[in-house]
Amino acid sequence: MSRPAEPPHIEVRGLTKRWVTRDATIAALEGISLTVAPREFVTVLGPSGCGKSTLLSIIGGLVPPDAGEVRVAGATADGPDPRKVAMVFQDPGLFPWRTALENVEFGLELQGVPAARRREVAKGLLEPVGLRGFETRYPRELSGGMKQRVAIARALALDSPILLMDEPFGALDEQTRLLMGEWLLGIWARTRKTVVFVTHSLQEAIMLSQRIVVMTARPGRIKASLEVTVPWPRDLTGAEATALRARLWELIREESLRALEAGR
Amino acid sequence: MRVLLGRAAVLLVALGAWELWARSQNPLLYIPPSKIGPALVRVVRLEAYPALPEHLGLTVVEVGVAYALAIGLGLGLGFLLGLPRHLGEIYEPILSGLYAIPSVVWYPSLMLFFGLGPASKIAFGFLLGFFPVVLAVLVGIRSVDRHLLIVARAFGAGPGTSFVKVILPAMTATVVAGLRAGLALTVVGVIVGEVLGARAGLGYLINYAYGFLRTAEYAALAVLVLVLVMAVDGLAALVEARAQRWAG
């Protein structure tokens, strides 16, 4: 894929983050530098606890970095800015007292969009995700996959150019996960958002992204950045995908082992 | 339906046993259920106590004032201590400890402070109703899912918006349960206060009937109080059920 000549949407330079607990200081991220172009779909792949979620929280402005610079859509990120960045988390985090529709409306409500308008937008977002007829259901009445689709619709409602996704399908079963991936690709093709997608699944990374950034075990550093050249629609069993998978596994195996040792 | 029938059967058997036993005892002290009905009719028709409406009215006013105070101060103090996280951690065990003290021990000092009139009943009703409310607020705030607050922040909510759109709705069920418990206890507090020493009110009337060995009327008044408390609590339960409809 040829890189557009536009300035990058996300620029992270020399990012460092430490967590201070009562008895130890944990280096979560160390010297992370990462650039994401507009409309690019990047997955961040790493072993559990490598700080990939922290990285996403920092880009999203939820957590301040200790050192380094984070620029999002041209400006230094100093707090969440839903007009630029929408976020989806592994735990969908739907508000249990709001219906599916009201959950999707949440961000627009905060921005003061009139009720009729935001209802219209929310309905328009729930329909293509297969949730027509579920508008007035409460989260507890929805399956895991449905909840996450509502959460994604809630993020899309912001109509921000950047979408940050923190293992959004991590809690779903394998089949649902694959279907949700296909569905997300459809959305990405339509909306052409810049997506940063955190995962620990090789399969998911290969299936979804244009580029895969591999992180080391804690403290998280960037170990490699690989372009995914497997043609769309992607055949995950083909030679190219298999070779990429082997290469990724080689990169991440050592880190996963280290994470496992450290976790003992 | 079967459960209802079962309950009715248990009740009938109990009443029957009571009837049989009470008939063999001193009728001044032991009242069979069959005598309570007529006494209740006399009480409700205002034949036994023509001033019953005034007594009832006073009790209702005392409960109303005490409950309003319990809600106002309970919610106010709850949010004041609960929203800054550390204050809640400091005060909650203290409040729980105070709540655990048998509340009747406070009553003599309340009578000393507030006298025999309605003020001491209001104070006692308030004291009983206040703790469940303030504790419910503290527990409610503490149990708000932190993740929802993070989500709200990511969507642009500041502290004020988070409070209104996340914290308040998330704690509604807990707080409403506390309000319900507080209401029941306020009623108990006011009536117990009246029984222990007063010049008017339902509790006073109960004590009066008892003191003059008008045992059937005493029992009838007790039934009246029971019905009132159940009606109030039933209403509160309806409100609570509504508030919990969405909470899973």
Domain CATH for A259? 3.40.50.300
Sorted by sequence, the CB contacts under 8 Å of residue A22 that are 6+ apart come out as none
B61 CB near a chain A CB, below 8 Å?
Answer: no
Q: Name the residue in chain B with its Cα closest to that of A90.
A: B147
Other residues' Cβ atoms within 10 Å of the Cβ of residue A79: 11
Sorted by sequence, the CB contacts under 8 Å of residue A105 that are 6+ apart come out as A118, A119, A121, A122, A157
Percent of chain A with pLDDT over 90: 56
Residue A214, pLDDT above cutoff 80: yes
CB B147 to CB A107 under 8 A? Answer: no
For chain B, residues with pLDDT lower than 70 are 245-248
Contacts across the A-B interface (CB distance below 8 Å): 58
Q: Where are the alpha helices (DSSP H) in chain A?
A: 52-59, 100-110, 115-126, 144-156, 174-191, 202-208, 239-263
Q: Please check whether residues A74 and A5 belong to one and the same domain.
A: yes
CB A62 to CB B170 under 8 A? Answer: no
CB B166 to CB A95 under 8 A? Answer: yes
Residue A216, pLDDT above cutoff 60: yes
Q: Please check whether residues A65 and A98 belong to one and the same domain.
A: no
A250 CB near a chain B CB, below 8 Å?
Answer: no
Q: Name the residue in chain B with its Cα closest to that of A164.
A: B154
Q: Using one digit for the tens of pLDDT, what is the confidence trace for B10-27?
A: 999 999 998 888 888 887
User: Is residue A54 in some structural domain?
Assistant: yes
B171 CB near a chain A CB, below 8 Å?
Answer: no
User: Is residue A203 in some structural domain?
Assistant: yes
Sorted by sequence, the CB contacts under 8 Å of residue A112 that are 6+ apart come out as none
CB B147 to CB A96 under 8 A? Answer: no
CB B248 to CB A96 under 8 A? Answer: yes
User: Is residue A36 in some structural domain?
Assistant: yes
> Given this model, what pLDDT does residue B247 score?
53
Residue of B154, B157, B169 lying closest to A87 (CB–CB): B154
Q: Please check whether residues A213 and A140 belong to one and the same domain.
A: no
- Residue A180: name the closest of A146, A157, A212 by CA: A146
- The shortest C-alpha distance from B92 to chain A (Å) reads 23
**Structural element, H or E, at residue B211:** helix B202-211
A97 CB near a chain B CB, below 8 Å?
Answer: yes
Using CB atoms within 10 Å of the CB of residue A54, give its burial: 0 to 12 exposed, 13 to 18 middle, 19+ buried.
buried
B146 CB near a chain A CB, below 8 Å?
Answer: no
pLDDT bucket at A178, cuts 50 / 70 / 90: confident
User: Is residue A63 in some structural domain?
Assistant: yes
Residue A191, pLDDT above cutoff 50: yes
Using CB atoms within 10 Å of the CB of residue A16, give its burial: 0 to 12 exposed, 13 to 18 middle, 19+ buried.
middle
Query: What's the pTM?
Result: 0.83
Domain assignment of residue A91, given as a range: 85-159
- Lowest average pLDDT, out of A67-81, A154-168, B77-91, B112-126, goes to B77-91
Sorted by sequence, the CB contacts under 8 Å of residue A215 that are 6+ apart come out as A44, A45, A46, A47, A50, A51, A52, A55, A221, A222, A223, A255
CB A97 to CB B157 under 8 A? Answer: no
User: Is residue A178 in some structural domain?
Assistant: no
Q: Please check whether residues A73 and A97 belong to one and the same domain.
A: no
CB B169 to CB A95 under 8 A? Answer: yes
Residue A98, pLDDT above cutoff 50: yes
- The shortest C-alpha distance from B13 to chain A (Å) reads 43
B151 CB near a chain A CB, below 8 Å?
Answer: yes
Q: A40: which DSSP letter? A: -
Give the span between the Cα atoms of A103 and A100, in whole angstroms: 5
Give the span between the Cα atoms of B132 and B182, in whole angstroms: 5
Q: Please check whether residues A4 and A76 belong to one and the same domain.
A: yes
**How many residues in total does chain A contain?**
264
Give the span between the Cα atoms of B244 and B248, in whole angstroms: 8
Q: Please check whether residues A113 and A100 belong to one and the same domain.
A: yes
Give the span between the Cα atoms of A123 and A105, in whole angstroms: 9
- The shortest C-alpha distance from B243 to chain A (Å) reads 10
User: Is residue A184 in some structural domain?
Assistant: no
> Given this model, what pLDDT does residue B58 score?
94
Q: Averaged over A215-243, what is the pLDDT?
A: 87
Take residue B190 and report the two structure tokens written for it. 């006011």
CB A95 to CB B248 under 8 A? Answer: no
> Given this model, what pLDDT does residue B152 score?
96
Q: Please, are residues B129 and B191 in contact by the beta-carbon 8 Å criterion?
A: no
- Residue A259: name the closest of A214, A216, A200, A217 by CA: A217
DSSP tally for chain B: helices H, then strands E: 11, 0
A174 CB near a chain B CB, below 8 Å?
Answer: no
- Residue B192: name the closest of B86, B102, B73 by CA: B102
B50 three-class SS = coil
Q: Please, are residues B202 and B59 in contact by the beta-carbon 8 Å criterion?
A: yes
Burial A137-175 (b: 16+ CB within 10 A, else e): ebbeebeebbbbbbbbbbbbbbebbbbbbbbbbbebeee
CB B247 to CB A97 under 8 A? Answer: yes
B112 three-class SS = helix
Q: Please, are residues B52 and B200 in contact by the beta-carbon 8 Å criterion?
A: no
Chain A residues touching residue B153 (CB < 8 angstroms): 62, 80
Q: Please check whether residues A76 and A91 belong to one and the same domain.
A: no
Give the span between the Cα atoms of B79 and B141, in whole angstroms: 8
pLDDT bucket at A263, cuts 50 / 70 / 90: low
Using CB atoms within 10 Å of the CB of residue B129, give its burial: 0 to 12 exposed, 13 to 18 middle, 19+ buried.
buried
Take residue A174 and report the two structure tokens written for it. 């394998």
CB B165 to CB A89 under 8 A? Answer: no
A158 CB near a chain B CB, below 8 Å?
Answer: yes
Give the span between the Cα atoms of A50 and A214, in whole angstroms: 10
> Given this model, what pLDDT does residue B248 score?
42
Q: Please, are residues B129 and B183 in contact by the beta-carbon 8 Å criterion?
A: yes
Q: Please check whether residues A34 and A56 belong to one and the same domain.
A: yes
Phi, psi (degrees; rounded to nearest 5) at A126:
-75, -35
Q: A220: which DSSP letter? A: B
User: Is residue A138 in some structural domain?
Assistant: yes
User: Is residue A185 in some structural domain?
Assistant: no
Residue of A107, A138, A140 lying closest to B155 (CB–CB): A107
Q: How many domains does chain A have?
A: 2
- The shortest C-alpha distance from B153 to chain A (Å) reads 7
Domain boundary among A159, A184, A214: A159
Domain boundary among A107, A140, A159: A159
Q: Using one digit for the tens of pLDDT, what is the confidence trace for A106-136?
A: 999 999 999 999 999 999 988 877 888 899 9
CB A158 to CB B154 under 8 A? Answer: no
Domain boundary among A159, A184, A211: A159
Q: Please check whether residues A151 and A96 belong to one and the same domain.
A: yes
- Residue A92: name the closest of A48, A143, A160 by CA: A143
Residue A4, pLDDT above cutoff 90: no
Chain B residues touching residue A138 (CB < 8 angstroms): 246, 248
A242 three-class SS = helix
